[in-house]
Amino acid sequence: MMNFIDALIQYEFLQKALLTSMMVGVICGVIGCFIILRGMALMGDAISHAVLPGVALSYMLGINFFIGAVFTGILTAIGIGYISQNSRIKNDVSIGIMFTAAFASGIILITFMKSSTDLYHILFGNVLAVRPTEMWSTLAIGIFVLISIFIFYKELLVSSFDPTMAAAYGLPTKAIHYFLMALLTLVTVASLQTVGIILVVAMLITPASTAYLLTDRLWVMIYLSAGIGILSSILGLYFSYTYNLASGATIVLAATVLFILAFLFSPKQGLVWRSLKSARKREMHSQS
């Protein structure tokens, strides 16, 4: 542990890596709360994969890859909605069809690019090689996402909890859905360097699910989820640096361990307390 702290003080690349992954932990944690409460975990996975062709196209055209990513991400989200609303195909199947198609086109586009190491980094992330510009763009996205959620908190809450009422009093629920999809693509791109496309869904849903097991209030859940995201990033980066492991994988596994702890020991929902309580009840009845 001391080695890690020493290295952190000494090496600028490690400081950048830590800051970037902590920021990713926060924004994924916050947006992830809405993703899991709306039952869109699969959609989160889909959109993160659908970003790949957009990133490849942006490289080829020499434009900022956020533009391409948001474009293909939203296009895929619209395609998924269009197919499930206009045929008997169920939503999960529609998601499966569209995101694999987008991902496959992404792989083809990337093979036209110069090297295959790019693909590897986009898929799995490499936070230790994060550049200052990428760190700043992550910060910019993070601020934009957090401000959006803060401003529209009330609308996001009611449209997630009771979409029928939200629509009845005039909220544009469809627009809110696509707005959230747009934020999701931004968050995915911001997470590319840290955990990569494949594993970003874990950062979206695992810390949020951990928080979900720990509280009954949405705003507490959002703060907890962000905190758990940060903690996962720090722990993950520590193991990644110390044992020379892929950063994306260690961060995700750290988040998973925290989830399992909550699953077992959460005061209200934890498996351990629940079975203890029901065992005590059963004992009480057998004695009487």
Partner 1 sequence: MTTAIAVNDLFVSYNGNEALRNVTFAVEEGNLVGIIGPNGAGKSTLLKVLLNLIKKDTGKVEILGKSIKEMKTKVAYVPQRSNIDWDFPITVMDTVLIGTYPNLGIFKRPKKEHKDWALECLKKVGMADFGNRQIGELSGGQQQRVFLARALAQKPEMYFLDEPFVGVDVTSEEKIISILKELRDSGKTVVVVHHDLSKASDYFNELILLNKELIEHGIVEKVFQPAVLNKAYTNQFSPILGTEVTS
Residue whose structure tokens are 């799995």: 124
Nearer to partner 1, 194 or 215 (CB): 215
CB 218 to partner 1: min, Å: 5
Q: 208 to 227, contacts with partner 1 by CB under 8 A?
A: 212, 215-218, 220-221
Q: Residue 83 interacts with partner 1 (CB under 8 A)?
A: no
CB 160 to partner 1: min, Å: 8
Q: Residue 155 interacts with partner 1 (CB under 8 A)?
A: yes
| Number of residues located near partner 1, criterion CB under 8 A | 23
Cα 82–chain centre separation? 24
Nearer to partner 1, 32 or 106 (CB): 32
Q: d(Cα 239, Cα 18) in Å, to the nearest integer?
A: 12
Q: d(Cα 203, Cα 153) in Å, to the nearest integer?
A: 21
When computed from its CA atoms, the radius of gyration of the chain, rounded to whole angstroms, is 20
Nearer to partner 1, 165 or 245 (CB): 165
Tokens of 119: 């693909």
Q: Residue 28 interacts with partner 1 (CB under 8 A)?
A: no
Q: Residue 135 interacts with partner 1 (CB under 8 A)?
A: no
Cβ burial, residue 269 (10 Å; 0-12/13-18/19+): middle
Q: d(Cα 239, Cα 217) in Å, to the nearest integer?
A: 32
CB 36 to partner 1: min, Å: 10
Nearer to partner 1, 217 or 285 (CB): 217
Candidates 9, 112, 170, 244; binder of partner 1 (CB under 8 A) is 170
Q: Residue 11 interacts with partner 1 (CB under 8 A)?
A: no
Handedness of CA 118, 120, 123, 126 (dihedral sign): negative
Q: Residue 158 interacts with partner 1 (CB under 8 A)?
A: yes
Q: Residue 164 interacts with partner 1 (CB under 8 A)?
A: yes
Tokens of 10: 């000494």
Q: d(Cα 204, Cα 222) in Å, to the nearest integer?
A: 12
CB 169 to partner 1: min, Å: 4
Tokens of 174: 């469809």
Q: Residue 120 interacts with partner 1 (CB under 8 A)?
A: no
Q: Residue 175 interacts with partner 1 (CB under 8 A)?
A: no
Handedness of CA 188, 189, 191, 196 (dihedral sign): positive
CB 159 to partner 1: min, Å: 10
Q: Residue 165 interacts with partner 1 (CB under 8 A)?
A: yes
Do 162 and 176 touch, CB atoms closer than 8 A?
no
CB 213 to partner 1: min, Å: 10
Handedness of CA 59, 63, 67, 68 (dihedral sign): negative
How many Cβ atoms are within 10 Å of 118's Cβ, its own excluded? 14
Using CB under 8 A, list all residues that contact partner 1: 37, 151-152, 154-155, 157-158, 160-162, 164-165, 167-170, 212, 215-218, 220-221
